Structure 1
Amino acid sequence: MTVMAERPTINGSEPNSFEDLLRTLDELDVPDGYKAEIIRGNIVVSPWSKGYYHRVMRLVCEQLEPHLPAEHSISYGPFLYVFPGDERAYGPDIHAVPEHVFETTSNHLDGEALSFVAELTSSSTRDDDLTGKVETYGRAGVPVYLLLDMQEEQTTVFSMPSAKGYEACETKPFGEKLSVPAPFDCVLDTTGFKAP
């Protein structure tokens, strides 16, 4: 289930800016088991991942961690990355950034600092994972976007960010190995990514 506030209001009036949406997002009382993001000018509340997604996220992190750029960390914690130029705020399933990004009291982290992001699709966010996030992450200069299509059981790695999104991508079915480009330059084994 996804709850979408088509036109969220602040004190009875429509928000005027992306900053208003961020303030509204901060004030939301999101139920346990849900996360909130700003997608296409709307605040979208969606359920947390299915249980087996944890295994997949852990496998990705374990494989990429030895290949992280210096002073970077990778996590699948619930953090909100902001992309003001696209008026988007995403809570990616997996993210890698330089450690200094977390040296803030704000809960709005710099999306342009990301060196890696991965999204595991769900029926509620799949469309944006396949389209809007490809464009936003690419325009922000995120070097690698890994899309784990849990419905189609395939992995796509996007690289070479540009003003239009990404210039390169490669797709493999779950169970095969996939090259993850710079700054990681490693191979991701997708064995164990399928649903139980």
Structure 2
Amino acid sequence: MIERATPIDELSAPPAFEDLLRTAAEMDTPDGFKAELIRGKIVVSPFSKLRYYHPMRVLRERLQARAPKGHYADVAPFLFRFPEAERAFCPDLFVADGSAFEEDGRHADGAALSLVAEFTSVSTKDADWNEKLDVYGRLVPVYLVVDMQDSEITCFHDPSPHGYRARTTVSFGEPLRIPAPFDFTLDTTI
């Protein structure tokens, strides 16, 4: 008998963004995993490796000291929604307006973010450098890509409807200017 592909009836329309958000929120992901909406799909990926803890903690402390009034730096696993892009991300580290966490619900508004930092891994590097860069670049004032494989930090800033207009890359240990709303030079020694 010859095997043939059996077509499956296509969905009349892809699932709506809000339906995907609800599904992601209701998922019982294993400990140490997070669910995000990337490219219109729910993607489950592991939290960062243990060796990322120290750099994340150091960066969080340095950013908190310079955060805009009422904004807090954290690494808590919160899903930030970007409805215009139909995406929702759980950043490795974020700085956001504290009022975003006074609402009911399970997803924070991406507009509350003043900074996002993603720590690359082999499994997330593509999304961090492409998908997330595109979405954050339209709204979030500062996006840091901490490239753990290449030992570099890239600061994207000056968002626009077409993405970030400026970027600076330094090797770990070199000073990195973090623009408004932070406006300070970051010691990248980690």
Q: Does 1:22 align with 2:10?
A: no
CA contact (8 A) 1:15 1:21 kept: no
- 2:183 corresponds to which residue? 185
**Cα shift at 1:113:** 1.4
Question: Using the alignment, how far apart are the partners of 2:45 and 2:158 within structure 1?
Answer: 29
TM-score (norm 2): 0.91
Identity of aligned residues (%): 52
**Cα shift at 1:13:** 9.2
Q: Does 1:148 align with 2:146?
A: yes
- 2:159 corresponds to which residue? 161
**Cα shift at 1:85:** 0.5
- 2:7 corresponds to which residue? none
- 1:60 corresponds to which residue? 59
TM-aligned CA distance change 1:111 to 1:83, over 3 Å: same
Q: Does 1:96 align with 2:95?
A: yes
Give 1:78-157 correspondences, 5 Å limit. Answer: 78-139=77-138, 141-157=139-155
**Cα shift at 1:105:** 2.2
Query: What residue identity is the alignment partner of 1:156?
Result: T
Instruction: Flag as ranges the 4+ runs of structure 1 deviating above 4 A.
Output: 12-15
Q: What number of residue pairs does the alignment pair up?
A: 180
Query: What residue identity is the alignment partner of 1:87?
Result: E
Gaps of 5+ in 2: 1-10
Query: What residue identity is the alignment partner of 1:32?
Result: D
**Cα shift at 1:15:** 5.0
CA contact (8 A) 1:97 1:113 kept: yes
Query: What residue identity is the alignment partner of 2:164?
Result: Y
**Cα shift at 1:22:** 0.9
Q: Does 1:43 align with 2:37?
A: no
TM-score (norm 1): 0.88
**Cα shift at 1:109:** 0.4
